[in-house]
Structure 1
Amino acid sequence: MQNLGIAITGSGSAVPKTSLHNQELTQLVETSDEWISTRTGIRQRRLAQPTESLTELAAAASRGAISAAGISATDIDLILLATSTPDDLFGTACKVQAAIEATQAVAFDLTAACSGFVFGLVTAAQYIKTGVYQNVLLIGGDILSRWVDWQDRRTCVLFGDGAGAVVLQANESDRLLGFALKSDGTQNHHLNLTYQGNSQEIIPNVNVAQGTYQPITMNGKEVYRFAAQKVPEIIDKALFQAQITVDQIDWLILHQANQRIIDAVAERLNIPDHKVISNLANYGNTSAASIPIALDEAVRQGKIKPNDIIATSGFGAGLSWGAAIFQWGK
């Protein structure tokens, strides 16, 4: 009989070496370390140099996860890369597959912005639970510095670059205890990285649009209001599906967008501070990478131990949000 449960058996992460501290941002825009840190909790972020690529970061994170899971790259059946900033608009997962020599794996990108890792986790689990694949590599990675307007002080202080990865494997018991996913396209306008093209007549009466994507725009107040309300609700739904109570959670790992959001969600759920994992002070908002980077750090620091119950939630552009409850390890 096939194992139709899943276990998350290894994690890895990678960030660029270059740091940009809040104090250095004062050279770009009118702001201060105190203003940024008190409103967001962010003190510095990592930025990819022009010579660095998402492929390199994702591959490094993947190697860490594969090694931690105790398997080889050739054991991987499927690679899912959750990203909004591919190196190639046709997709970057296949480049990662080549970089790590996962010769047996099919690979594709998945785009759900800051919810990407949670959406990817649920997607990966379905391939395993239906018996299609045994070993799935899930990567969350973004280089948002490519798409930030460095003169817009509302957004340039928030974002950083990085990648995190986990390995999911078929398992006798199902360690993904519950999940819930939601989308609301009527609020799409609150957070965008939109294409803008100029009309070009290629032959008489035939016009096409030629252009590029515009920098990130965000209505911070509305995104905060949305997250503070919707994230506790979606975690409650996932807990209900998992048939466990909030006090059974060992760790809360939210998308690392803003410390105020993390604090508000934890407070609403009555989760004490010592159970909340936060590292956005060092990395800023790394979009789809933020949850797996925080997870990997906590695992490698010895905080998260086998069988610990983790509640996680991603939220952001779309607008989209989701939650997953899982037990760490086999």
Structure 2
Amino acid sequence: MRAALYDRYGPPEVLYEGKVPMPAVKPDEVLVRVRAVSVNGGELAGRTGKLRLVTGRRFPQRAGIDFVGEIAELGPSVTGLREGERVWGFLGRTTFGSAAEYVSVRPRQIAPAPAGLTPVQAVSLLAGGTTAITALRDKARLRKGERLLVRGASGGVGSVAVQIGKAFGAHVTALAGPRNLGFVRGLGADEVLDYQATHPSELGAFDVIMDTVGTQHPAYRRLLAPGGRMVAIAFDIASPLSSLSYILGSAVHGSRRVRFFSGNPRHELFAELTRYAENGDIRPVVDTVHPLAAIAAAHRALEAGGVRGKHVIEIRH
């Protein structure tokens, strides 16, 4: 079958479309015919070698962590699912390989995909939506009427976080680049500001800050109101040790803690996201659709920045 591969760590150009064996289906697994995957920051880190302690040095390696498709085969011990059922799911935060024609997964890694959305539309919500729900509901415990600030509001996670924040009843202030202000405003944000022209000291106080950027944590932490919570899903790659040390230190010093997490969602969270999508609380956020053969171009585009939602790989069979 066709799959996105690379034979060494490096820039986007190391990626190519190649051939790999069809995955074997264990008795407790399902085979999913993949229709679409999105491009995520974790894959970029994997491809460049920043996760080599986990991914190792065996090549070729694979790309893709999420997927939307339909069940092609059921293992003999799997119940409650049927062939042809439309599903979406996630391989794992450091398990790559969904950018392929088929994947084999356990039932807890999938859930029914939202009705009324194409695979391309649905997959644009998956990684960002599960991350946003975990960050805002479980980590920050965002409540109705609270003031929420979303940094990086036009990206794959931030664009869904704006919508999830509004679904939770928060007053949402969003920071984005100048060309994306209208796009973010259309997602429902109450206030949209150009991050290039807005210093943190001009922003006022917030009950919850969701940071998808990873820089200037001290400056933004100071914006938290008493009892405020800040959730970071990124750290400063220019000085990772300093950035992570600050985040960890915030748990010990002071009341305004910065919570950092890397998501690894399962069935229940996918099912909840499906309900939000089918209820119309969130809508797809597709920047550009690429064929599997253009996987390198998709990675290059995400690295270039300025993204509006997700770069999506559509896999045609």
> TM-score normalised by the shorter chain: which range applies?
under 0.3
Q: TM-score, normalised by structure 2?
A: 0.27
Q: Give TM-score scaled by structure 1 length.
A: 0.26
Q: Which has the higher contact order (CA 8 A, sep 6+)?
A: 1
- Between Structure 1 and Structure 2, which shows a larger proportion of helix residues? 1
